Amino acid sequence: MRKQRTSQSRILNRHPVESLKHLIHLRASQINQCGFCVKMHTREAREANETNERLDRLIVWRHVSDFTSAERAALAWTDQLLSAFHRAITSGSTTTLTVMLAQEISTALKG
């Protein structure tokens, strides 16, 4: 019971924007396979009262119900953005990437 109360109080003390920022940074680090960054962003997220359970399941965010619809949308956008970036870098087409990013940003700002 004590563990449940602790987990609930951590959730209540978590600021939504701050939490989302940490989730995005950590997810990007996972995709980029940067061990140093994963460790750093995990620590920062925990310090900002993110739960261990959600951090543990971030890698499989599409398959769990731990994340809000806003968080899921941000994580999907992060996945797509980094996927496009990695494809462009692999193909050497950074011009295409620049155009894609400009379109994505424009669409996001209109929405």
Chain segment 32-46, per-residue pLDDT in tens: 999 999 999 999 999
Query: What tokens were used for 9?
Result: 């109080």
Q: What is the rounded CA–CA span in Å between residue 68 and residue 73?
A: 9
Q: How many C-beta neighbours within 10 Å does residue 7 have?
A: 14
Using DSSP's 3-state secondary structure scheme, residue 85 falls into helix
State pTM to two decimals.
Answer: 0.68
Q: What is the rounded CA–CA span in Å between residue 85 and residue 77?
A: 12
**27, 86, 104 from 94: Cα distances, Å:** 22, 10, 15
Q: Which residue has the higher pLDDT, 83 or 77?
A: 77
pLDDT of residue 86: 67
